[in-house]
Chains A and B, each alone.
Chain A
Amino acid sequence: MSEKEIKNLEEIFEQRIARDEKIEPKDWMPEKYRKTHIRQISQHAHSEIVGMLPEGNWITRAPSLRRKVALLAKVQDEAGHGLYLYSACETLGISREELYEQLHTGKAKYSSIFNYPTITWADMGAIGWLVDGAAIINQVPLCSTSYGPYARAMIRVCKEESFHQRQGYEIMITLANGTPEQKAMAQDALNRWWWPSLMMLGPTDAESVHTEQSMKWKLKRKTNDELRQQFIDQTVPQADLIGLTIPDPDLKWNEKTGHYDFGEINWDEFWQVVKGHGPCNKERLSARVNAWENGQWVRDAAMTYAQKQEDKKLKKAI
C-alpha cells in the first residue's frame, strides 16, 4: 500500500471512530491503534490476575465463612475478568502465551497498586472500597470505547464488578462500627491505601504521554486528573459517613470549585513502584511465573491426552 493510500485509510478510520462506530477485529486499523490496544488491554488483563494475589493472601484467613465465600468469589471474578480481557486482546493477533511472556519478563506492566502488601484483614475492605472504587471510575467509560471486543469485555467486567466495591465498603463499615481494635485496623488500612489509590489513576496530565491519542480513540474519556478528582469527591463523604479520616491534612472542601482540594502526591514513590521497587513487585511476579511454570506439565498432559483421543477416534473411523 502506498503512503497516500494508508493516509486515506487512516482518515476514514478516524472518522468512523469520531462517528462512534465500533472497530471490529477484522477491520483495517492503523498499526499504532493495534499496538496501543494490545498494550492497554493486556496491561488491564495483567492487573486483574496480579490483582488476585494480594487479596488471595487473605482467603484462607478470612474471619467468617460469609466473608470467606464472598472474598473467594471476588478473587475468582478477577480471574474471569483477566480471561475476558486476554480474549479481547487475542482478537488483535497476539496469543495469551505471548502476553504472559511479556508479563513474566517484565516487559508488560500491571497496575502498580498490587505491589503493596496486604497485612491485615482491613486491607480487604480498603482494596474493595478504594482500589475497586478507583478501578470502576476508570472502567465505566471504557464500556463505550471504540474497539468492540474491549468494550464488550468491559461491559461484562463492570456488571460483575459492582459487588466488589460494595463488599469492600461493607467490610470497612463493619470494622468502623466494631471494637476500638477493629476501628484502628480500618483506619490503618485507609492510611496505607489512600495515596496508592490516588496514584492508581495514573500520572498527572502534564506527565501522561498517551492521553491525547487515547482520548481520540475513546480509550480514555477523561484525563487522569479529572478521574482522580472524581474519585476523591465521591470517596471523602463515604469516609466521613463511617467515621474514618482521610490521611491528608490538606484535604478540604473548596466552595468555589465545588471539589475537594487535596495534598501533594508523592510521585517519586509512584515511579519507584512502577520501576519495580515496590514492596511486593518480586513476590507478585514470581507467584505468576511459578503458577505458569508449575502448570506446564498439566497443560501439556491435557494437550497430549486430547491428541490421543483424537487419534483413537480417527482409527475407529478407518
Chain B
Amino acid sequence: MKNENIIQYIYGIADNALILGQRLSELCGHGPSLETDIALTNMALDLLGQTRSYYQYAAQLSGDGKTEDDIAFLRIERQYKNVLLVEQPNRHFGYVIARQFFYDVFHLFLLQELQHSKDEILSAIAKKAIKEVSYHQRFSSDWIKRLGDGTKESHQKIQEAVDDLWGFTDELFHMTEDDLLAFNSGIGVDLSKIKDAYYQKIKEVLEEATITPPETKWFQKGGKQGIHSEHMGYLLADLQYMQRTYPNMKW
C-alpha cells in the first residue's frame, strides 16, 4: 500500500477527531454546569490529542516536510474526510450528547479493531485512545439515559436530536477506496464487520433511555468523499483563520 493511500486512510479517522474536537471546544465556558463544562472539555482534549498523533504520523509518512498543522489547517474543504455527523452544530445540549453518543460507540468499535492493525504506529495510537474513548462512551451513554428518561422536555429534546442525527450514522460504515486498500493490506478496519454490533449497542442504550430509534431508511453521505454540509465551511473558517490570514508563520 502506498504511503499516499495510508495518509488518506489516516485522514479518514483523524479528521473525525479534529472536527468533533473543534465542535466540543466551541462549548468551553458555555456548558449547562461547571462540572459538565469541564467534562466536555476533557473529551475535546482527548480527541485533539489523538488528532495530533495521527497527523504527526501522516506528516512523517508524507516525507515532504509537512507538519501536523499543515494538515490540520491548510487543506481545502474537499480534502477533509470526516463524516457529516461530527460537523453537525451544537444546536442544544441534546444534539451535543446524541452526536457524541453516535460517534463514541462507533469510535470504540473502530479502535478495538484498529489496535490489531499491522501498522504498529496506528495500533499504538488506537490502544492509547481506547481508554479515552471508553470513557467518552460511558459519559455520553449516561447522558443519553438522563435526558431520555429525565423530564418530558428533555425526552422530547433528545428524541429530536436522535431523529435528526440518525440519518448520519450509516455513513460511518461506508468503505472508501482507501479504506478498502487499507483493510486488504492488514492496516485498516473492515467497517462492515462492526455495523451490526454498532446498531445493537445503540438500540440497547436508546431503549433503556426510553428513546425510540427512528424508522428512517434514508441516510446522508458525502463527508468521506469531502462533500460536506454547509456547516463545514464556517467551522473551517474559524479553524483556519490564523493560518490563512498570516501564512507561513510560526506560532
Known contacts: A79-B41, A182-B246, A290-B30. The answer to whether A59 contacts B25 by CB under 8 A is yes
- Flag whether B174 is at the interface (Cβ < 8 A): no
- Chain A residues near B45 (CB-CB < 8 A): 69, 72-73, 76
Of the 9-residue stretches A236-244, A253-261, A297-305, which lies at the interface with chain B? A297-305
Q: Does B238 contact A (CB under 8 A)?
A: yes
- Chain B 30-50: CB-based contact to A (< 8 A → 1; otherwise 0): 111111111001101100110
A181 and B248 CA atoms in complex are apart in Å by 12
Contact with B along A197-233 (1 / 0, CB 8 A): 0000000000000000000000000000000000000
A220 to B: closest C-beta gap in Å: 27
Name which of B2-10, B125-133, B145-153 contacts chain A.
B145-153
In angstroms, Cα B243 to Cα A76, docked, is: 24
| A57-75 at interface with B (beta carbon < 8 Å) | 59-69, 72-73, 75
B239 proximity list for chain A (CB < 8 A): 60-61
Tell whether, in the assembled complex, residue B25 and residue A60 are in contact, meaning their CB atoms are under 8 Å apart: yes
Q: What size tier do the contact residues of chain B reach?
A: 35 or more
Q: How near does chain A come to B181, taking the closest CB pair, in angstroms?
A: 27
Q: A-B contact count, CB below 8 Å?
A: 140
Q: Whose C-beta in chain B lies nearest to the C-beta of A57?
A: B29
* CA–CA, A128 and B251, complex, Å: 15
Distance in Å: Cβ of A42 to nearest Cβ of chain B: 14
Report yes or no: A52 in contact with B157, Cβ–Cβ below 8 A: no
Is B241 an interface position by the 8 A CB rule? yes
Provide the residues of chain A in CB contact with B55, threshold 8 Å.
65
In the complex the two chains form, what is the Cα distance from A294 to B72 in whole Å?
32
Contact of A52 among B29, B36, B42, B51 (CB under 8 A): B29
Scan A278-310; emit 1 where CB is below 8 A from any B CB, else 0: 000000000100110011111111111110100
Q: Does B115 contact A (CB under 8 A)?
A: no
CB distance from B58 to the nearest CB of A (A): 13
- Alpha-carbon distance A132/B241, docked complex (angstroms): 26
A75 to B28, Cβ gap below 8 A?
yes
B108 to chain A, nearest CB (A): 22
Q: Are A291 and B146 in contact (CB under 8 A)?
A: no
Flag if B38 contacts A72 (CB, 8 Å).
Answer: no
Which of A6-14, A80-88, A147-155, A268-276 lies at the interface with chain B? A80-88
> Which residues from chain A contact B250 at a C-beta distance below 8 Å?
174, 178
* Cα of A224 to Cα of B26 in the assembled complex, Å: 36
Q: In the complex, A299 Cα to B170 Cα: how many Å?
A: 31
Query: Is B217 an interface position by the 8 A CB rule?
Result: no
B214-245 CB contacts (< 8 Å) to partner A: 238-239, 241-243
- Known A-B contacts A61-B238, A79-B37, A305-B149; A69 and B93 likewise in contact (beta carbons under 8 Å): no
**Inter-subunit contact A300/B29 (CB<8 Å):** no
**Given that A64-B69, A121-B242, A305-B145 are known contacts, is A291 also in contact with B32, CB under 8 Å in the complex?**
yes
Roughly how many angstroms separate A179 CA and B32 CA in the complex, as a whole number? 41
Cross-chain contact B151 with A297 (CB below 8 angstroms): yes
Residues of B within 8 Å of A64, CB to CB, are 69, 73, 251
Tell me if A53 counts as interface (CB < 8 A to partner B).
yes
Chain B hits for A303, CB < 8 A:
150
B243 engages A56 (CB within 8 Å): no
Q: Is A49 an interface residue (CB 8 A)?
A: yes
Question: A53: which B residues are within 8 A, CB to CB?
Answer: 29
Can you list, as one digit per residue, whether each of B134-166 has a CB less than 8 Å from chain A (1) or not (0)?
A: 000000000001110111011001000000000
Determine how close the nearest CB of chain A comes to the CB of B232; give it in whole angstroms.
14
Contact B51 A65 (CB under 8 A): yes
Interface residue? B116 (CB, 8 A): no
Residue in contact with A79 in the complex, picked from B32, B38, B44, B242, CB distance below 8 Å: B38
Q: Is the CB of B68 within 8 A of A76?
A: no
Q: Are A295 and B29 in contact (CB under 8 A)?
A: no
Please measure, in the bound complex, the distance between the C-alpha atom of A291 and the C-alpha atom of B72, giving whole angstroms. Answer: 29
Verify A302–B146 contact, CB threshold 8 A: yes
Instruction: Check if B72 sits within 8 Å of A65, measured CB to CB.
Output: yes
Instruction: Name B34's contact: one of A62, A79, A296, A302 (CB within 8 Å).
Output: A79
Complex: A302 Cα to B51 Cα, angstroms: 32
Given contacts A67-B251, A86-B34, A297-B93, 15 further A-B contacts (CB under 8 A): A49-B29, A64-B251, A65-B51, A65-B69, A75-B41, A76-B38, A76-B41, A79-B37, A174-B250, A294-B92, A295-B32, A295-B33, A297-B157, A300-B153, A305-B147
A interface with B by C-beta (< 8 Å):
49, 52-53, 56, 59-69, 72-73, 75-76, 79-80, 82-83, 86, 121, 171, 174, 178-179, 181-182, 287, 290-291, 294-306, 308
